[in-house]
Amino acid sequence: MISFDAAHAAVHYPPDRRFRIWIRPSILITAALVVLLPVLAAWLEVLLVGLPHIPPVPQVYPNNFAGPHGFPLWVRYCHFFNFLFVTMLIRSGLSILADHPRLYFNNHCTPGSEWIRLTPIQVPTDRLWTAKDDARYISPMVATPGYRHTIGTARSWHFLNVYGFIITGIFFIIMLFDTEQWRRLVPPSTLVLLQAWNTWVHYATFHLPTELNGYYGYNALQQIAYFSVVFVFGPLAILTGIAMSPAAVNRFHWYPKLFGGRQSARSIHFLTMLSFFAFIMVHVILIAMTGFVRNMNHIVMGTDDQNHTGMFLGFVGIGVVVLTWIVAHYISWIYPRDLQHMQKFITYPLMLTTLNRLSPSEHYTEADISPRFWPNGMIPEREDWKQMARDGFQNFKLKVGGLVDNPVELSLADIENLAKTEEITMHHCIQGWTGIAKWGGLPMKSLVDLVRPKPNAKVVAFFSFGGSLYGGAYYDTQSLENVLKAQCLLASEMNGKPLTEVYGAPLRLRVENQLGYKMVKWIERIEFVESEKSIGLGEGGKNEDDEYFDLLPNI
């Protein structure tokens, strides 16, 4: 494991490392019924009419078998890499989940409305409890990189492996239908459903049916399982991932509704992860029960015999995957900046040419406003901010300068007199929660028109009175292109009232095509600069500098 200095140990390795899974009783009962009813139905069928008939397994003659059989090299390689990518996605996904260990079927994420929480803590009502406080420790034995508040690095691993997972899946599908192998996975008729049920009855009542030789074909239940993994779980994981993109959700409001809403998509995304995990476990158990050595030769060597080579090489492959987890853990802590840059090298151009081209559009009403909006960030400790807060920010002056022809200092009254608009939007936090609120304030386009940036000003930097996780003032940057988009404003009001201290007074940024950490709260000043590389460590923001977050988080 990694040895932390005192500052990092306090963040990543907190005293409270308790773990608890709480599931809403109604959800737990429903899940139990979904699992138990098919088992009960199988036992009733056996008790009332006996075991259903399963046609005997025909004798296979390898020399004249006409159907698709065997596992070509491309199948075997895809099998290995999918196992690698899926396990890495699960491990990094668990680290991401730990930063907001609650799942919902609503978009407001009000504490207490979650259907499952992976924390023993119910949100306290007697003190300020931020989303950052709510994050939990997770062991690096089960998650990459593990510990607490490592969502930036976890997202790097998640996205890098998503690309591998998608590329492998596309290649597999193309090859599947370019050969006869598709016939092994795609059910030929609805009769397969009846055959699958009959097979299930045997398994559920502990009467193992005579197994087909998997080298030549699958039984009906296996066929449906493999079909579901390839054609249902995989695409569903990708599509629900896109449904968690602020750029997509705030532009195409119909898309997350396909899954019941943005948070429902997050819950379904989690359930697909559980489905992959359950499939892997059952798959491995059945491989062991139905002839481990022969089955390993099938998928490792592409042969149908009892030679032990496939088993030995299979264990080597599993060892390589486990070694990858270990290497990923150490890269996360020894070379995190290199990992961040690698992910940026791949993702940044992709975001610029796809999601970042989308302009947000308002589509929420006051009826959609969240009853409670999760607070987040570190409220300023500076005495000048505290004094201004006591005076209602009457003496506050926003300084706007840098590469502009007309630097200005503006009071809140000046800002309100320039222009004002109201937008009802959904906030997307990198931790996973969402909230809908009405924001009122100055469109950034109006401010840009006032100060007239110089031609070489490409980036806008927002500096906060507030602090950051590891110390130092918080700041972040936006490209000039993004601050000119619709719904980007300097908010001084929230839900029709002046912005409160908890939610970012006197001003906070709203930029609705990105995640929440880019929307600086408690804004002190704004500077137009040539590049984000001239500020801080040059990564584009305090979270990007210290916690390896993305420069452009459209998803």
411-468: pLDDT as tens digits: 999 999 999 999 999 999 999 999 999 999 999 999 999 999 999 999 999 999 999 9
CA 183/CA 223 separation, integer angstroms: 10
Beta strands in 471-512 (DSSP E): 473-479, 489-494, 497-498, 508-510
* CATH number 3.60.21.10 is the correct assignment for the domain at 362-547: no
Of the pLDDT bands very low, low, confident and very high (cuts 50, 70, 90), residue 1 is low
Domain coordinates in residue numbering, the chain: 6-355, 362-547
The token duo for 35 is 């699992």
pLDDT > 90? residue 60:
no
CA 21/CA 148 separation, integer angstroms: 17
Give kind and range of the element (H or E) at residue 529: strand 523-529
Phi, psi of 459 (to 5 degrees): -135, 145
Query: Do 519 and 462 meet the contact criterion of CB atoms below 8 Å apart?
Result: no
User: Which residue's structure tokens are 């199948």?
Assistant: 75
Question: Quick one: average pLDDT of 174-181?
Answer: 95
Residues facing residue 464 across a β-bridge:
523
Beta-carbon contacts of 327 under 8 Å, excluding residues fewer than 6 positions away, are: none
Q: Evaluate the CA torsion angle 108, 113, 114, 119 in order and state its sign.
A: positive
* DSSP-derived secondary structure letter, 360: P
User: Which residue's structure tokens are 């997770």?
Assistant: 138
CA 448/CA 480 separation, integer angstroms: 9
Radius of gyration of the chain (CA): 27
CA dihedral 297, 302, 305, 308 (to 10 degrees): -30
pLDDT, tens digit, for every residue of 268-326?
999 999 999 999 999 999 899 889 999 999 999 999 999 999 999 999 999 999 999 99
Please report the DSSP string for 61-110 in residue order.
-GGG--S--S--HHHHHHHHHHHHHHHHHHHHHHHHHHTS-EE-SSSS--
- Region of poorest pLDDT, from 61-65, 131-135, 302-306, 371-375: 61-65
pLDDT at 159 (0 to 100): 97
Tell me the one-letter amino acid at 485: K
